[in-house]
Amino acid sequence: MEFESFVLAASTDNLRRTDRARDYADAIEYRIDLAEEGLGPVERHTGLPVIVTNRLESEGGATPAGSERLSTLAAAAAEPAVAAVDVELATVREGGAEAVLETARNNDTAVIVSTHDFEGTPPRNRLRSLLAAASERGDVAKLATYADGPDAVLDLLAATRAATAAGHRVATVAMGEAGRHSRAVAPLYGSRIGYAPLVEAEATAPGQYDLETLRELIAALGGPDGPEPQR
């Protein structure tokens, strides 16, 4: 998966419950940090392409920092069903992700380098700097920030557009109620990945729509791929 066009990912901690995702999603984001079964279901998965996330506690996940977290992510990068792995920009900068990056390269697995800020949205120049830094090490630069109002959303969308115009593949979202609509409109500004739970009650980040609703909103707005999911 090269993310040359928009991908809608269904976020879940249970790969056994993804049949419904086929109707709306292009990929599955498997939140292994929230899952009980580890890599086992990935080894047996034959459905939609999988993005594996093993998110740090400090960035909204459930896994503490440590080598075991990264070794699990590296092992995931070698699985045939896995199209991409997500690793934090902070981890990459600390030098802890080299095994993940190398394994991904050796297996033609895409790397999403991500930053999550649940406290707020940095200034526009900082947003562009984060996206540029993540783009240097990953195939997709992901940036999710908490928006406390419309100005924060506008800053993130402007940074998305600027990064896209510079030739970077990015995935952006403004979290929280004020930024909820960004999940539907960000693809119009160049964001390559959207995330949604199968049902809203299973949301993994503030402000998420359920999968069916987000697909319909993107299609209604004339999103990059229209009403039909990629295959």
Q: What pLDDT does 108 receive?
A: 97
Domain boundaries, the chain: 7-220
Task: Determine the Cα–Cα distance for residues 163 and 48; give it in Å rounded to an integer.
Answer: 28
Contact 184, 221 (CB under 8 A): yes
Q: Which helix (H) or strand (E) holds 197?
A: strand 193-197
Q: What pLDDT does 1 receive?
A: 86
Task: Determine the Cα–Cα distance for residues 158 and 154; give it in Å rounded to an integer.
Answer: 6
127-153 residue pLDDT tens: 999 999 999 999 999 999 999 999 999
Give mean pLDDT, residues 29-39: 93
Q: What pLDDT does 224 receive?
A: 61
Confidence of residue 204 (pLDDT cuts 50, 70, 90): confident
The gap from C-alpha 99 to its chain's centroid, in whole angstroms, comes to 20
Instruction: Report, at the CATH architecture level, how domain 7-220 is classified.
Output: Alpha-Beta Barrel (3.20)
Task: Determine the Cα–Cα distance for residues 142 and 150; give it in Å rounded to an integer.
Answer: 20
Q: What pLDDT does 230 receive?
A: 41
Take residue 26 and report the two structure tokens written for it.
Answer: 């292009």
Residue (of 195, 199, 209) closest to 31 by Cα position: 195
pTM listed for this prediction: 0.93
Confidence of residue 114 (pLDDT cuts 50, 70, 90): very high
3-19 residue pLDDT tens: 999 999 999 999 988 88
Give mean pLDDT, residues 178-192: 97
Task: Judge whether residue 69 has pLDDT over 60.
Answer: yes
Q: What pLDDT does 229 receive?
A: 41
Give mean pLDDT, residues 157-169: 97
Give mean pLDDT, residues 96-118: 97
- Whether 45 is a known active-site residue: answer no
Contact 27, 1 (CB under 8 A): yes
Q: What pLDDT does 203 receive?
A: 81
For residues 226 and 88, which has the higher predicted lDDT (pLDDT)?
88
Mean pLDDT of the residues in the chain:
92
Task: Determine the Cα–Cα distance for residues 217 and 209; give it in Å rounded to an integer.
Answer: 10
* Vertex 174 angle, CA 172 and 175, to 5°: 120
Of these residues, 45, 142, 168, 181, which one is catalytic? Answer: 142
- Whether 116 is a known active-site residue: answer yes
- Pairing verdict, β 110-117 and 82-88: parallel
How many helices (DSSP H) and strands (DSSP E) are in the chain?
8, 8
Task: Judge whether residue 225 has pLDDT over 80.
Answer: no
